[in-house]
Chain A
Amino acid sequence: MTISSASDLEQPRLPSLPVKPWQILVLLLLIVYPLMVPDFWRLQVGAYALILGVIALSLTFLAGYGGMVSLAQMTVAGVAGYAVAIFGVNSAALGLGWPWWVTIPLSLAVATLFATLTGWLSVRTAGIYTIMITLAIAVAFFYLVRQNYVIFNGFTGFAGLAPPPVFGLDWRAPLPFYYLSLGVAGICFAAVVYMSRSTMGVALQGIRDNPRRMAALGFNVRAHRIAAYALAGLIAALGGILLVWFNGRISPGSVGVDRVIDILVIAVIGGLRHPTGAFLGAIVFVLLENFAIDLIDRERFNTVIGIAFLAIVFFSPDGLLGLWDKASRASRTLAGATKDWNGR
């Protein structure tokens, strides 16, 4: 994974607004396509990919801009999910039953706090050690929820979780839930793109590229990194709440090591260089998971994903985004060559 090239550190000044035609096309497609497909494509593919994309986006932000590869992002999402179940209503009759307008902000806050603590513990480390310590945190949380019955209901977890009927709409229904996911994903995506060129974002990228230099310019490197964990935590928490509504349930399996690794796989397959990568990776992952599994069984599926992961890391460290760049550069060169040739 190359996450340290400074070249994508963007100019802090100009919001480069001119939206390209293909970007409008993608947006239109995202809005229109669920109207024309069966529920499976709205929920199991569309909404699910958007949600995983949001959680992966939190890692893209941390790793791509901050140079910190955290494996605890799914765990942060899980904390938010568990919080929603515990503070709100669930079928185990263990929930506190608080109203959604308390439950949701509170869950986001708890998960963001958890992410901040994770950051506080991890920012002393770098590289492989960050991966190890965040993995340790993820595993610890998995065992905690599995063994604790008083708060987390142990092995069973919680079921009967659904989005609240705000505005008299059934948000659990495929179309509304798709658009809810799209809305949250869109906001998170736009926020990360905007933030990447904010003072905080540029400082973070400076820290990624040369922390010692940044400290010698007056930046508190640790504090910036922890702040990045907190911001990424909020994004992961939003994804986590959507995920728990999508599944209708949460259990230790939802925050197990394989789920934790999935997020890394998604972010890396898509490419850490730009927020788009998270969603690109998510859609590929979800399609593979839905269709490859019909052809082969779960164990072999993991092998396929693992090999795909290795291939991507090996051939295109920038993930699918990198492949896309290579392809478009090649076609430009080709077009240029053709023009030259014609011109002569």
Chain B
Amino acid sequence: MAETLSISQASEAHALSLEGVSRRFGALVALDQVSLTVEAGERRAILGANGAGKTTLFNMVTGDFRPTAGRIWFFGEDITALPPHERIRRGLRRTYQNSMLFRGLSVRDNLYLAAQGITRGRYSLRRPRRDSSELSLAERLAGYVHLTQWLDTTVSDLSHGQQRQLEIGMALAGAPRMILLDEPAAGLSPKERRDLIALLQALPAHVGFVIIEHDLDVALRVARFVTVMHNGQIFKEGTPDEIENDPDVQAIYLGGHHG
């Protein structure tokens, strides 16, 4: 596959489908006519140098920013004009490249907010009961990302690796159908990296994710299909093997690394 692969037909079968999505910041074209599809339950890695437009792509999908052109479908529904919270309620989740946790709050409260965000009673003027389903979900999520011991710890007191785990825990609240992970392994120790890979591999099979990852080893271990971005465009798509051995990709991205 030498040329840019673009599948532009939105159909019920695709979990996520972008068609000609562009985003400008002033004169800068951060995202240029990107078309992309991800199937339900698929695990996809996105590679690309700094500034390639990867995070911007996520921001388009979650609605953090609106595209200047193009359309986005989520499980067959056009979500281009939906506000972010509506997309979350449809099963889309994300983590942020730069931690966006509530640093003054405990782990439990962060997970509680994540659990509350996707359930009813968000406007309740009553205090949650100790045995509320949201609080017990928060505890289950903490167990899932190995933070049970730290439930009452303030987030600012967590290690960097634990904060990344918490981000993922928050993204797992409710019934996620697709999770966008923005460089979850950045700044992790080798051991934390292994834990993260194990965690991602253990996700239920129906939960798909798209992972932006600089570390090729992590990306290739959790993903079966890789998209390479360059200058706001999709540069190449293929299996990990194809991508790893592609001379063009090596030239723009891996050259310095493995050279």
A residues contacting B by CB (< 8 A) are 5-9, 11-15, 194-195, 197-203, 206, 209-210, 212-221, 223-224, 227, 231
List B residues 97-127 near A (Cβ within 8 Å).
Answer: 100-106, 108-109, 112-114, 116-118, 121-127
Residue in A200, A221, A224 whose CB lies within 8 Å of B125:
A200
Cβ–Cβ contact B85 & A220, under 8 A: yes
A6 CA / B113 CA spacing, docked (Å): 14
Listed A/B pairs (20) with beta-carbon separation below 8 Å = A6-B105, A11-B109, A12-B109, A13-B108, A13-B130, A198-B127, A199-B121, A202-B109, A209-B102, A210-B102, A213-B96, A215-B83, A215-B85, A216-B62, A216-B84, A216-B88, A218-B88, A218-B89, A218-B118, A224-B123
Contact of A9 among B89, B109, B127, B135 (CB under 8 A): B109
Contacts of A220 in B (CB 8 A): 83, 85, 122
Q: Is B230 an interface residue (CB 8 A)?
A: no
CB–CB B122/A200 < 8 A: yes
A197 & B127 in contact (Cβ 8 Å cutoff): yes
Q: Is the CB of A194 within 8 A of B102?
A: no
Q: For residue B152, which residue of chain A has the nearest CB?
A: A11
B122 touches A199 (CB 8 A): yes
Contacts of A194 in B (CB 8 A): 127
Cβ–Cβ contact A7 & B124, under 8 A: no
Closest-CB distance, A134 to chain B (whole angstroms): 23
Which chain B positions have C-beta within 8 A of A215? 63-64, 83-85, 88
What is the total of A-B residue contacts with beta carbons within 8 Å? 112
Contact call B113/A200, Cβ cutoff below 8 A: no
> Could you say which residues of chain A place their CB within 8 Å of the CB of B122?
199-200, 203, 218-220, 224
A248: min CB distance to chain B, Å: 34
Q: Is the CB of A214 within 8 A of B113?
A: yes
A209 touches B118 (CB 8 A): no
Q: Is the CB of A9 within 8 A of B102?
A: yes
Q: Which of B46-63 contact A (CB under 8 A)?
A: 62-63
Q: How large is the interface on B (under 10, 10 to 19, 20 to 34, 35 or more residues)?
A: 35 or more
Chain B: minimal CB distance from A9 (Å): 6
Indicate if the CB atoms of A217 and B88 lie closer than 8 Å.
yes
Q: Are A203 and B116 in contact (CB under 8 A)?
A: yes
Give Cα distance in the complex from A58 to B63, angstroms.
Answer: 32
* Chain A nearest CB, measured from B200 CB (Å): 19
Inter-chain CA distance A197–B105, complex, in Å, is 13
Q: Which of A11, A200, A223 is B106 in contact with, Cβ under 8 Å?
A: A11
Query: Which of A198, A199, A210 has the most CB atoms of chain B within a 10 A radius of its CB?
Result: A199
Q: How far is the CB of B109 from chain A (nearest CB, A)?
A: 6
CB pair B104 A214 closer than 8 Å: no
**Chain A residues within 8 Å of B100, by CB:** 210, 212-213, 216
Nearest CB of chain B from residue A235's CB, rounded to whole Å: 13
A7, A206, A217, A223 interface centre (most CB from chain B within 10 Å): A217
User: Which are the 3 A-B pairs with shortest beta-carbon distances?
Assistant: A6-B104, A218-B117, A217-B117
Residues on the A chain within 8 Å of B106, using CB: 11
Q: Whose C-beta in chain B lies nearest to the C-beta of A209? A: B102
Chain A residues with CB below 8 A from B89, complex form: 218
A200 touches B124 (CB 8 A): yes
Shortest beta-carbon distance from B73 to chain A in Å: 19
Residues of A within 8 A of B101 (CB): 213
Question: Given the complex, which residues of A lie within 8 Å of B130, measured CB to CB?
Answer: 13-14
Closest CB of chain A to B89's CB: distance in Å? 5
Are B124 and A198 in contact, CB atoms less than 8 angstroms apart?
A: yes
Decide: A219 and B117 in contact? CB cutoff 8 A.
yes
Q: How far is the CA of A314 from the CA of B192 in the complex (A)?
A: 44
Is B135 in contact with A13, judged by CB distance below 8 angstroms?
A: yes
If A6-B104, A9-B104, A213-B100 touch, whether A206 touches B127 (CB-CB below 8 Å) is no
Q: In the assembled complex, which residues on chain B have CB atoms less than 8 Å from the CB atom of A231?
A: 125
Say whether B214 faces chain A, with CB atoms less than 8 Å apart. no
CB A112 to nearest CB in B, in angstroms, measures 14
New A-B pairs, 11, CB < 8 Å, besides A9-B109, A212-B84: A11-B106, A202-B113, A203-B113, A206-B102, A206-B105, A209-B104, A215-B85, A217-B113, A217-B118, A218-B89, A224-B122
A140 to B161, CA, bound (A): 53
- Is B94 touching A195 in the complex (CB atoms < 8 A)? no
A195 to B124, CA, bound (A): 9
Bound CA span A223–B85, Å: 11
Max chain A Cβ within 10 angstroms of own Cβ: one of B63, B85, B174: B85
A149 to B85, CA, bound (A): 46
Tell me whether B128 is interfacial, beta carbon within 8 Å: yes
B85 and A199 contact, CB distance less than 8 A: no
Best-buried of B94, B113, B128 by chain A (most CB within 10 Å): B113
User: Do residues A213 and B102 form an inter-chain contact, with CB atoms below 8 A?
Assistant: yes
Say whether, besides A9-B102, A203-B116, A213-B100, A198 and B85 are in contact (CB < 8 Å): no
Nearest residue (CB) in A for B89 is A218
A218 and B117 CA atoms in complex are apart in Å by: 5
Chain A residue nearest to B180 (CB atoms) is: A216
For B94, B100, B135, B173, the residue with the greatest tally of chain A CB atoms inside 10 Å of its CB is: B100
**Which of A5, A199, A206, A213 is close to B126, meaning CB atoms less than 8 Å apart?**
A199
